[in-house]
Amino acid sequence: MESIISTIFGLIWVGTFVLIGAVVTVFYFYNRLQGLSHSVREASSNIMVCMKKRVDLVNKLIDIATGYGNHEKLIHITVSQHQSMINSFKESEAALIQVVAAAQTFPELRANQIYQQLMDRLEAIEIDLQNKREIYNSAVKIYNANRSSFPTVLIASKLGFKEAPYFNIENVDELDNLKDFQTDDGTMLKAVLATVGKNIITVSKKFGNEANRVSKNLDKTKSNFPSHKEAQRFCSQCGAKVRPDSKFCNSCGNKIQIY
Nearest to 19 by CA among 208, 156, 205, 203: 203
| Lowest mean pLDDT segment, chosen from 2-11, 30-39, 204-213 | 2-11
77/185 same-domain check: yes
Name the DSSP class of 66: T
Length of the chain: 259
Domain that holds residue 94: 2-195
pLDDT in tens, 133-185: 999 999 999 999 999 998 888 888 888 888 888 887 666 666 666 666 776 65
Q: In sequence order, what are the beta bridge partners of 255?
A: 248
Q: In CATH, what number is assigned to the domain containing residue 161?
A: 1.20.1440.20
C-alpha torsion angle, residues 209, 215, 218, 222 (rounded to 10):
-140
167/96 same-domain check: yes
**Chain-centroid distance, C-alpha 223:** 55
Name the DSSP class of 164: P
188/96 same-domain check: yes
pLDDT in tens, 203-249: 666 666 666 666 666 566 555 545 444 455 677 777 777 677 777 77
Within-domain flag for 221: no
Q: How many CA atoms lie within 13 A of 110 on its CB side?
A: 9
Q: In sequence order, what DSSP letters do the residues of 115-132 get, joined into one string? A: HHHHHHHHHHHHHHHHHH
178/239 same-domain check: no
Contacts of 29 (CB under 8 A, 6+ apart): 151, 152, 155, 156, 159
39/115 same-domain check: yes
127/181 same-domain check: yes
167/258 same-domain check: no
Helix (H, G, I), strand (E, B) or coil at 103: helix
145/254 same-domain check: no
Confidence band for 76, pLDDT divided at 50, 70 and 90: very low
Within-domain flag for 207: no
Residue 79 has φ and ψ, to the nearest 5°, of -125, 120
* Mean pLDDT of the chain, nearest integer: 76
First to last CA, the chain: 25
Within-domain flag for 205: no
Alpha carbon distance 259, 250 (integer Å): 19
- The pLDDT score that the predictor gives to residue 229 is 46
Considering its fold, how many domains does the chain have in total?
Answer: 2
How confident is the model over 50-69, as a mean pLDDT?
Answer: 86
Within-domain flag for 200: no
Give residue 186's region: left, alpha or beta (phi > 0; psi -120 to 50).
left
Last residue of a domain, one of 195, 210, 242: 195
How confident is the model over 82-89, as a mean pLDDT?
Answer: 72
Between residues 258 and 139, which one has the greater pLDDT?
A: 139
